[in-house]
Amino acid sequence: MSISSVLLSGLSGLRASQTAISVVSQNIANVNTPGYVRAQVNYTPLMQPGSSGGVKVESITRAADQFLATASYIAAATYSAAAARSDILARAQESFGDPTSGTSMFAQLDSFWSALGEISVDPSSALRRGDAVSALQSMFSEVNRVGQTLQDLAAEADQRIAAAVDEAQDLMNRIDQLNNEIRLNRRIGADSTAAENAQSQLVDRLSQLMDVRATPQETGGVHVRTSGGALLVGVDAAKLSYSPNDTNFAAHGVIRINEDLGTQSNLEPLLLGGEIKGLIQARDVDLPGLASALGGFAAQLGDALNAVHNENSSSPAVGSLTGRQTGLLASDSLGFTGTTIIGVTDASGNLAQRLTIDFDSGDIVGENPAATYSFAGGDIASFMTALNNALGAATPAGSANFSGGVMSLNVGGGGGLVIQQDPDDPSDRGGRGFSHFFGLNDIVSRPTPMFFETGLHGSDTHGLNTGGSVSYDVRDSLGRLVATRTISISGSIAAPGATWNDLLSELNAPGAGGLGDYGTFSMDSATGQVRFAPNAGYQTTLIQDTTQRGATGISFTALNGLSNGSTMGRGLEVQVSARIATNPILLAVGQPDLSVDLGERLIESGDGRGAAALIAARDAPRSFTANGVLTAQTTTLASYASRLGGEAGRMATDAERAATASLAVQNAANDRRAVVEGISLDDELMKMTVYQNSYAASARVIQAATEMLDILMSIGYR
């Protein structure tokens, strides 16, 4: 080996040791830097022709472990999804309140039952009636507050999704930019570990927003995909977009990816974890499930109370009864079976006229004057004509009207009206008696239908005004938009005689005309409610409904409970009837006796049997349909209320446990990754000693070669 080879070998050793010392110094300086991955120097022999020429730094790489990094990404995505969902559900459960608190809706409901019990002791007390009405109104106000809180949380989740999508897009853009920087450094042989560390931290953060996999590329940089296969960063960064909608009962859009390419661009089915996935789960499944259950509870409670209250009467009986918005038209078939009795009282509260309505025979039989009034036409209009004539002939005289879907009965001269079911042959339409169905003496009300058993028949005219339309989006099991269908009230189904059967045929038409390829609309023959059953693998979303049934202001979907606003909205809109809220003395706590003779008194002010009947409704078994997170069941109102609160608590607890468990997994994954990728100060100090010694040794080699050269030069000179 020549002197020059020795000098070059020593010089290469100096340079290699100096680079290694610099890298170790950098590691030590970043020992506590989050996300920093230990750098390491890779050497290779420097060969000279015929002999070794020393050593050179082949590369400086990060001690990254792809397997452990991927495990960390999965754990981070799982925890972030669980934490986001747990946060939303914890606040949802908190909104229901502590059942033991006197201000919770459950406690307010208990206060109402207690107040009714007090009325039973002193039925004539206006103060006790006021307490009962106030407690019921407070309970429904709490229901409304909880319902609005659930909608607010859904809107918050939607806004957080939009913010997370924006952040993810920024992270993807920066990862793409660092890809270019890393490739350039690789090509020119420069140290790229700083850029790679920065990129790794960006991927770590992205993995919290959505589940990702980062695949290193031979030329440098990474490709990033979701676990579902969506390419987020490849040659370029993908383009994400999302438009939030924070209105109540909103039909939310989807997260678009590379929408400009014109392909099916819904990212959501390709997300299996991450904060965005957890927020979508809370927004689209958990919160709507709770809101639907709350709305169902409010409606069932109101309907149960109304069923009893319509059999009760205040004392004295009121002279004017105005019903609920039924969504029905005067041309609809009457559709009742059985018998109802209407009593007209004079100013003294004595029975002046008894009208027996036999819906099976189509007759109204009056006793004073004795007369029979036929409504053989079979529709609501002919019935109202007969009832108006019957009331008009009474003394005091009255009237009946049905307009805009609302029935009203009135009697003058200080008289009153009392309506009850025939005990042997009660009237029935869609499972409710005459007064109950029309809501003539309701204690609980809602501006739109509170229940959806309309009692309509397929042969009835649908009555939807010309020009309205219903629009649906259809998606497959992967969330991809398959079709958008709009069914307009036009053409043959806008004809005057078009029936519900005609409308259902139009809705169920295959191809571009209807939704027949994706599901089936059908009318329940027992209740008249129209339902929709999607085909397997498809889901439909109501986009808009501009239909209106006659002058009722009620749309097709609101009438049948086919929209979130019609079902969840009950939790926001059900209230104590305004006439009772403003005048609690109208709370009907007595049970009139319509079997008394004409001229006898119907009800006494001290009658509290109606209050006892209202209390009994609490413990009477009822059939509850499936509503959101609560399955169909037969139970009591008290038990149903408890199950609603319990289900909210269970969901929040389960979500919290999932978050706690996934956090433990994430910590374990991060610890394992840190063992390999992290910095041990002791190890680095040992390496520093080695490299310093290596540097000193290389320097001594150079010094020895220099001395040898000096000696040789001296010998040659002589």
With respect to residue 461, please indicate whether it lies within any of the assigned structural domains. Answer: no
Residue 60 has a pLDDT of 65
Identify the sign of the CA torsion 186, 192, 198, 204: positive
Q: What confidence tens digit (pLDDT) does each residue in 319-362 have? A: 999 999 999 999 999 999 999 999 999 999 999 999 999 999 99
Residues 196 and 88 in one domain: yes
With respect to residue 700, please indicate whether it lies within any of the assigned structural domains. Answer: yes
Residue 39 has a pLDDT of 67
pLDDT at 707 over 80: no
Higher-pLDDT residue of 523 and 27 is 523
Residue 674 has a pLDDT of 76
Mean pLDDT confidence for 131-154: 95
Residue 700 has a pLDDT of 81
With respect to residue 314, please indicate whether it lies within any of the assigned structural domains. Answer: yes
Q: What percent of the chain is modeled with pLDDT above 90?
A: 68
Residues 141 and 157 in one domain: no
Residue 61 has a pLDDT of 67
Question: What is the Cα–Cα distance from 164 to 275, expressed in whole angstroms?
Answer: 8
Residues 266 and 368 in one domain: no
Residues 89 and 220 in one domain: yes
Residue 102 has a pLDDT of 74
Higher-pLDDT residue of 690 and 401 is 401
Of 658, 659, 622, 661, the residue nearest 643 (C-alpha): 622
Q: What confidence tens digit (pLDDT) does each residue in 664-678 have? A: 999 998 888 777 766
Q: Are strands 575-576 and 444-445 parallel, antiparallel or unpaired?
A: antiparallel
Place of tokens 């063992």: 675
Q: Domain count for the chain, please give it.
A: 4
Residues 529 and 600 in one domain: no
Reported in sequence order, the residue ranges of 106-239 that DSSP labels E, i.e. its strands, are 212-216, 222-226, 231-233
With respect to residue 456, please indicate whether it lies within any of the assigned structural domains. Answer: no
With respect to residue 112, please indicate whether it lies within any of the assigned structural domains. Answer: no
Domain of 473 in residue numbering reads as 469-560
pLDDT at 1 over 60: no
Dihedral through CA 320, CA 321, CA 327, CA 328, nearest 10? -80
Residue 315 has a pLDDT of 87
With respect to residue 460, please indicate whether it lies within any of the assigned structural domains. Answer: no
Most confident of 29-33, 166-170, 637-641: 166-170
CA–centroid distance for 621 within its chain: 29
Residue 540 has a pLDDT of 93
With respect to residue 632, please indicate whether it lies within any of the assigned structural domains. Answer: no
Q: What confidence tens digit (pLDDT) does each residue in 58-76 have? A: 666 666 678 888 888 999 9
| 3-class state of residue 216 by DSSP | strand
Residues 80 and 16 in one domain: no
Residues 487 and 524 in one domain: yes
Residues 230 and 341 in one domain: no
Q: Which long-range contacts (CB under 8 A, 24 or more apart) does 258-265 make?
A: 264/480, 264/481
Residues 507 and 600 in one domain: no
Confidence of residue 259 (pLDDT cuts 50, 70, 90): confident
Reported in sequence order, the residue ranges of 518-621 that DSSP labels E, i.e. its strands, are 519-523, 530-534, 538-545, 575-576
427 and 340 Cβ atoms separated by less than 8 Å: yes
SS (H, E, C) 58-87: EEEEECCCHHHHHHHHHHHHHHHHHHHHHH
| Mean pLDDT score across all residues of the chain | 90
With respect to residue 282, please indicate whether it lies within any of the assigned structural domains. Answer: yes
Residues 427 and 501 in one domain: no
Question: What is the Cα–Cα distance from 130 to 52, expressed in whole angstroms?
Answer: 104
Mean pLDDT confidence for 483-508: 95
Confidence of residue 196 (pLDDT cuts 50, 70, 90): confident
Residues 247 and 327 in one domain: no
Residue 671 has a pLDDT of 81
Residues 267 and 310 in one domain: no
pTM: 0.88
Task: Name the DSSP class of 466.
Answer: T
Place of tokens 């009835």: 460
Tell me the β-bridge partners of 474: 483, 540
Confidence of residue 515 (pLDDT cuts 50, 70, 90): very high
